[in-house]
């Protein structure tokens, strides 16, 4: 009987060891989550973007189209950082990653593709204007030429 009891205690102790070691894992996981920040992306349309810009005058608008597209027509106050340029990531790295940015392109393709770079550089929140300048123009919102 003593051998059976000893065997049962030994098996139970061995079975509990992994559970005890896993009790430390959440702390390790929490540290990893703190170090790896997720990018939050908010999707809005052009009319919502216009309203947001009016409500938040300090919101930085990033236009990721080419310089020639930007010169032809852009949102007043927007900053042009060309997604297709080889220095795109370098220019983004000069920005404050903790600040919110409203980004757009012509139709939404390049700005959507650029989200990977924002995430890699540790940006915390990007507001993506779905539909880009095409949506902005369809909503008859003002541009600078």
In the chain, which stretches have pLDDT less than 50?
A: 5-36
Give yes or no: residues 45 and 113 share one domain.
yes
- Is residue 71 in a domain? yes
The model's pTM is: 0.74
Q: 43-60 burial by CB neighbour count: b if 16+ within 10 A, else e?
A: ebebeebbebbeeeeebb
Domain that holds residue 22: 2-33
In sequence order, the β-bridge partners of residue 62 are 79, 103
Give yes or no: residues 63 and 132 share one domain.
yes
pLDDT of residue 86: 97
Give yes or no: residues 77 and 93 share one domain.
yes
pLDDT of residue 57: 92
pLDDT of residue 125: 97
- pLDDT tens-digit profile of 101-125? 999 999 999 999 999 999 999 999 9
Give yes or no: residues 25 and 63 share one domain.
no
Give yes or no: residues 18 and 60 share one domain.
no
pLDDT of residue 5: 44
Give yes or no: residues 29 and 85 share one domain.
no
Q: Which CATH number is 77's domain given?
A: 3.40.250.10
pLDDT of residue 4: 52
Are 44 and 131 in contact, with CB atoms under 8 Å apart? no
């Amino acid at each position: 009987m003593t051998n059976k009891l000893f065997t049962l205690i030994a098996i139970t102790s061995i079975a509990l060891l992994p559970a005890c070691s896993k009790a430390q894992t959440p702390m390790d996981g929490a540290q990893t989550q703190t170090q790896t920040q997720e990018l939050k992306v908010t999707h809005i349309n052009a009319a919502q973007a216009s309203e947001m810009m009016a409500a938040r005058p300090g919101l930085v608008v990033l236009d990721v189209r080419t310089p020639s597209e930007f010169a032809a027509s852009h949102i007043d106050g927007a900053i042009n950082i060309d997604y297709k340029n080889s220095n795109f990531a370098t220019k983004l790295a000069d920005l404050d990653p903790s600040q919110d940015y409203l980004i757009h392109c012509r139709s939404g393709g390049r700005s959507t593709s650029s989200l990977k770079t924002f995430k890699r550089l540790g940006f915390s929140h990007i507001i993506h204007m779905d539909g880009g300048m095409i949506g902005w123009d369809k909503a008859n919102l003002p541009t600078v030429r």
